[in-house]
A and B are shown apart, each in its own frame.
Chain A
């Protein structure tokens, strides 16, 4: 039977190949037991019947017979065993799935949290990796695991669900299928024991399965799915350019703080953004106080910003002064710059009286917002965590207050000294001075203390009646109020000025650090220097160990690393993951958090250049502040760009090198073809002359021709031998057959091989008596000496003397071939051993220039050295130095 390809099938294949990322389908239920897994398996069987390659990545059947039956007939991939505290846990093996590369994989329980030490902390991250590998995924999910609904679920059911997944993951799903079952039926199933209930949690779960809860959850899941349909319809209309009613280009901004209410604020904003179909951003304004905040609070801020990102927001951190004015202005400026249309802020938790003094951020925002709407979100119930904000907390250390007391005491002392000469009211100026000094140098709190104390002391000591707080003259009341208010105002102004100065100073310091880095990077000449600079700056500025890894032949190699830091295979695996996925991972992230270091991809517009590893801080619990983190990212960016620059330069250099190598190769081919052809011309010529004109040639002419052809063929043979040797040396295929060799024998054999080529030259051999045997490959070393002698003969005038001198040194022996030729220009001495190099001479000397280069290769293979020296009194010395055996 002929099997024709189905056009639809082909089209589908083409599409799936174009769109490399796999498709995600979620079977959404409102509670366990509605039959999600069952539905997923049924769908899988249907796909399989259509010829799709389906495998089971991970399914929890809970020993339910009907589910187990459905698993049969599907290929089940082996799971990974993870041992944790002596308990064997089973997890989906992502690598196996990706290696198996089916078209569709089934993965149960999307919100599952993986065993510790797994690559990802959450299963949905595993799924994303599978999707990225171009494999479709079917998965199941209960609505209460959805991040944005998490708090509502907790409110409705009273159960806090720990395993949550970010909404953006759901948003990426290409299909959501709601598996619905009326609550009554579900309860009936539960009664019949058809719903899996783990023993230990049985009671809690039964409590959860109340009809009210179930109805609420069911409504949530249906509504959520309906929203999705709405999204898809809208996307469809947009892509087909169908006109309709569109939500205006709304942009929401939510202001977050360490306050426990911020979490609720973020979730609310997400829901609001969903309803408005708007983009949204989360903003944290960092004030100088941040540095003195507890670690717990700082973590909370980081957690809330992470939550916002999980829920689909972009998060930002900006810095400003401590005051409400400064904070609100920063928020409004940001909002204007980013076309924000609505700001969501939390209703303050502070008592009213405190707001009176410190001002309310919400009030300030509303006041400055202009055309931006401000939504103030409240919470009906008490926060889950107690606020640990103590309103009377003194922000300055105690010594500052002591100093303010000293200032008041000094003013009082001046008062006593000048008591006779000055009117009491003028003394107020002295106290005012003390308050101003306190405000400028000691901060707000001490200034307020100084002004209050000043009023009291002044009243007590210098206002009639003395030594009481009573005031007889009412004009002094005005003085007191004046002194007090002036003190307050000045202290406020001075404090703000110093805060702004501090913020400016810090920004300036950051800018200066960045400037320093970019200047040093710019002046780094090569990749190594760049890496060193980057490491040094990062270590200095953040007090952490640093490692930079760059790819080499498709795997990462540690290029620079702090002292005392060592990266094992596991760490390298994490870095590799970061490199391949261009996402941060490691310590303090949700991917592979067990790693020692935190790994950041070094990204540029051309892709990931490498990976930066950041170690633990030297002092424990000293995590980076958002501004520091931002600075570090800026450092990493600068570094990535510098690395990219260095690599581009290197590529450029390689190209230039390649071009010159090509030029060299051409010269080389020319040289070889010339040297090969010359003897062949002589041989062919001689043979054809003998063949065609034998009778015309006299005997002497015939002999000359024959002799010439013979010596030329010998030359040809040597040239081929040289080329073969060169090839062997260059490819590293040269194998030494080391034996103790007699130097005298070596020279004798070389002279014999050289034979008539010595010409008219005299050769004098000087080998001292009892010269030791030297470990060598005799045959190859004969070749070396022949080559050196040939060279000496070639460059010497006829009838000159060539000396061969052997000498013994501590751990080496030297062989010198010394001629009385023209010598080698000084600048060429080091180059004569280069391949195809020939010292330029007016009278051209034949030869390829291979001989010396081959000799160098052979001598170096022996662990020896070869060099050219100019000989005293004219001529060249070619010297071979070989190591002596112990």
Chain B
């Protein structure tokens, strides 16, 4: 990991968690700023201009969803949400208002760094790459070609669109809602059709659909394309 002097803002009201993140992220070369409340965080974003924000959902003053919504009014700084398993709906809400990814407490440092890496990369490579390649899966957008382990796969237009959305956000979670909106259009809300298409897509891509290697399910939230 070679993060050179990037700035990260850690927002959590629990001092032990802030201390741990300061140590773990500091060791990785990040400059770490801390905020213990939502208001403080909004101020800190203005004054420190962080490259990425790690935001706890359960804050004492304004909750994390609201903080995300306010930040997204003027900033595209990547946000990674921290939440407990019980707050599933809050997590989805935060993702839907623009958070980039999430982690369920407790989490390992490696996991956090992987998420941060993906989120930061989006910033770095905003330009479209015509070919996506990752562990045996190749998607050539210009030719609409999908190749798994050197074998071309035939996809229906919907399956292809679905895969395209997943690939463009590779490594990041995409909520059911976001997938439906981007593939079928605004206002479409049929979980059934999404499940069926994901199942079919897996059937074509995955060697063993019971142990998927590409399309990972985030229970209750959405899907993630593994990189």
Report whether chain A binds chain B: yes
Q: Which residues of B contact A773 (CB under 8 A)?
A: 192, 195-196
A777 and B106 alpha carbons, distance in the complex (Å): 23
A752 and B216 alpha carbons, distance in the complex (Å): 9
A747 and B108 alpha carbons, distance in the complex (Å): 24
B residues 197-227 near A (Cβ < 8 Å) are 198-199, 202, 209-212, 216-217, 219-220
Tell me if A779 and B86 are in contact (CB < 8 A). no
Any chain B CB within 8 A of the CB of A359?
no
Any chain A CB within 8 A of the CB of B88?
yes
Tell me if A748 and B212 are in contact (CB < 8 A). yes
Tell me if B220 and A778 are in contact (CB < 8 A). yes
Cβ distance B219 to chain A, nearest Cβ, rounded Å: 4
Tell me if B211 and A745 are in contact (CB < 8 A). no
Residue of B nearest to A771 (CB): B199
Tell me if A779 and B195 are in contact (CB < 8 A). no
Q: Given contact pairs A739-B191, A740-B191, A751-B210, enumerate 17 new A-B contacts (beta carbons under 8 Å).
A: A710-B108, A717-B106, A740-B192, A740-B195, A741-B195, A744-B210, A745-B195, A745-B198, A748-B211, A748-B217, A749-B219, A751-B211, A773-B195, A773-B196, A777-B220, A778-B219, A779-B220
Cβ distance B124 to chain A, nearest Cβ, rounded Å: 29
15 contacts between A and B (CB under 8 A): A724-B86, A739-B191, A741-B195, A742-B198, A744-B199, A744-B209, A745-B195, A745-B217, A748-B209, A751-B211, A767-B210, A773-B195, A777-B220, A779-B88, A779-B220
Q: Which residues of A contact B219 (CB under 8 A)?
A: 749, 778-779, 782
Any chain B CB within 8 A of the CB of A103?
no
A417 and B85 alpha carbons, distance in the complex (Å): 115
Any chain B CB within 8 A of the CB of A239?
no
Q: Which residues of A contact B199 (CB under 8 A)?
A: 742, 744-745
Tell me if A737 and B191 are in contact (CB < 8 A). no
At the interface, is chain A mostly helix, strand, loop or mixed?
helix
A751 and B106 alpha carbons, distance in the complex (Å): 20
Q: Which residues of B contact A710 (CB under 8 A)?
A: 108
A739 and B220 alpha carbons, distance in the complex (Å): 9
A713 and B108 alpha carbons, distance in the complex (Å): 11
Q: Which residues of B contact A779 (CB under 8 A)?
A: 88, 219-220
Q: Which residues of B contact A752 (CB under 8 A)?
A: 211, 216-217
A residues 716-731 near B (Cβ < 8 Å) are 717, 721, 724
Residue of B nearest to A740 (CB): B192
A710 and B108 alpha carbons, distance in the complex (Å): 9
Q: Which residues of B contact A741 (CB under 8 A)?
A: 195
Any chain B CB within 8 A of the CB of A765?
yes
Q: Which residues of A contact B196 (CB under 8 A)?
A: 742, 773
A778 and B108 alpha carbons, distance in the complex (Å): 24
Cβ distance A885 to chain B, nearest Cβ, rounded Å: 10
A814 and B68 alpha carbons, distance in the complex (Å): 42
User: Which one, B85, B191, B210, B220, contacts A748 given CB within 8 A?
Assistant: B210
3 pairs of A and B residues whose beta carbons are closest in the complex: A779-B220, A765-B210, A779-B219
Residues of A within 8 A of B (CB): 710, 713, 717, 721, 724, 737, 739-742, 744-745, 747-749, 751-752, 765, 767, 773, 777-779, 782
Residue of A nearest to B86 (CB): A724
Q: Which residues of B contact A721 (CB under 8 A)?
A: 85
Given known pairs A737-B220, A767-B210, the reply for A742 and B106 (CB within 8 Å) is no
Cβ distance B170 to chain A, nearest Cβ, rounded Å: 18
B residues 147-161 near A (Cβ < 8 Å) are none
A752 and B224 alpha carbons, distance in the complex (Å): 14
0/1 per residue, B172-212, Cβ < 8 Å to A? 00000000000000000001100110110010000001111
Q: Which residues of B contact A742 (CB under 8 A)?
A: 195-196, 198-199
Residue of B nearest to A885 (CB): B192
Cβ distance B195 to chain A, nearest Cβ, rounded Å: 5
Residue of A nearest to B206 (CB): A748
Q: Which residues of B contact A740 (CB under 8 A)?
A: 191-192, 195
User: Which one, B86, B210, B216, contacts A747 given CB within 8 A?
Assistant: B210
Cβ distance B206 to chain A, nearest Cβ, rounded Å: 9
Residue of A nearest to B219 (CB): A779
0/1 per residue, B100-142, Cβ < 8 Å to A? 0000001010000000000000000000000000000000000
Residue of A nearest to B199 (CB): A742
Q: Which residues of B contact A748 (CB under 8 A)?
A: 209-212, 217
Q: Which residues of B contact A782 (CB under 8 A)?
A: 219
Cβ distance A83 to chain B, nearest Cβ, rounded Å: 55
A710 and B209 alpha carbons, distance in the complex (Å): 30
Cβ distance A745 to chain B, nearest Cβ, rounded Å: 5
A747 and B202 alpha carbons, distance in the complex (Å): 14
Q: Which residues of A contact B106 (CB under 8 A)?
A: 713, 717
Residue of B nearest to A765 (CB): B210
Cβ distance B61 to chain A, nearest Cβ, rounded Å: 25
Cβ distance A690 to chain B, nearest Cβ, rounded Å: 15
Cβ distance A715 to chain B, nearest Cβ, rounded Å: 12
Cβ distance B179 to chain A, nearest Cβ, rounded Å: 13
Interface centre among B88, B108, B210 (most CB of A within 10 A): B210
Cβ distance A21 to chain B, nearest Cβ, rounded Å: 57
A747 and B199 alpha carbons, distance in the complex (Å): 13
Q: Which residues of B contact A745 (CB under 8 A)?
A: 195, 198-199, 202, 217
Interface centre among B196, B212, B219 (most CB of A within 10 A): B219
Q: Which residues of B contact A749 (CB under 8 A)?
A: 217, 219
Residue of B nearest to A713 (CB): B106
Cβ distance A709 to chain B, nearest Cβ, rounded Å: 12
A765 and B212 alpha carbons, distance in the complex (Å): 13
A280 and B227 alpha carbons, distance in the complex (Å): 103
Q: Which residues of B contact A724 (CB under 8 A)?
A: 86
Q: Which residues of A contact B85 (CB under 8 A)?
A: 721
A504 and B55 alpha carbons, distance in the complex (Å): 93
Q: Which residues of B contact A751 (CB under 8 A)?
A: 210-211
Q: Which residues of B contact A778 (CB under 8 A)?
A: 219-220
A658 and B86 alpha carbons, distance in the complex (Å): 32
A751 and B210 alpha carbons, distance in the complex (Å): 8
Q: Which residues of B contact A713 (CB under 8 A)?
A: 106
0/1 per residue, B45-72, Cβ < 8 Å to A? 0000000000000000000000000000
Residue of B nearest to A737 (CB): B220
Interface centre among A747, A748, A777, A782 (most CB of B within 10 A): A748
A777 and B210 alpha carbons, distance in the complex (Å): 19
Cβ distance A805 to chain B, nearest Cβ, rounded Å: 12
Cβ distance A877 to chain B, nearest Cβ, rounded Å: 19
Cβ distance B135 to chain A, nearest Cβ, rounded Å: 16
Q: Which residues of A contact B216 (CB under 8 A)?
A: 752
Interface centre among A710, A721, A779 (most CB of B within 10 A): A779
Q: Which residues of A contact B192 (CB under 8 A)?
A: 740, 773
A777 and B89 alpha carbons, distance in the complex (Å): 13
A737 and B211 alpha carbons, distance in the complex (Å): 24
Q: Which residues of B contact A765 (CB under 8 A)?
A: 210
Residue of A nearest to B194 (CB): A740
A778 and B210 alpha carbons, distance in the complex (Å): 16
Cβ distance A720 to chain B, nearest Cβ, rounded Å: 10
A710 and B210 alpha carbons, distance in the complex (Å): 27
Q: Which residues of B contact A777 (CB under 8 A)?
A: 220
0/1 per residue, B61-94, Cβ < 8 Å to A? 0000000000000000000000001101000000
Cβ distance B19 to chain A, nearest Cβ, rounded Å: 15
Cβ distance A744 to chain B, nearest Cβ, rounded Å: 6
Q: Which residues of B contact A737 (CB under 8 A)?
A: 88, 220
Cβ distance B6 to chain A, nearest Cβ, rounded Å: 27
Cβ distance B192 to chain A, nearest Cβ, rounded Å: 5
Q: Which residues of A contact B212 (CB under 8 A)?
A: 748
Cβ distance A850 to chain B, nearest Cβ, rounded Å: 16
Cβ distance B101 to chain A, nearest Cβ, rounded Å: 18
A749 and B195 alpha carbons, distance in the complex (Å): 14
A710 and B217 alpha carbons, distance in the complex (Å): 24
A721 and B105 alpha carbons, distance in the complex (Å): 11
Cβ distance A239 to chain B, nearest Cβ, rounded Å: 71
A777 and B221 alpha carbons, distance in the complex (Å): 12
Residue of B nearest to A747 (CB): B210
Cβ distance B173 to chain A, nearest Cβ, rounded Å: 14
A854 and B106 alpha carbons, distance in the complex (Å): 21
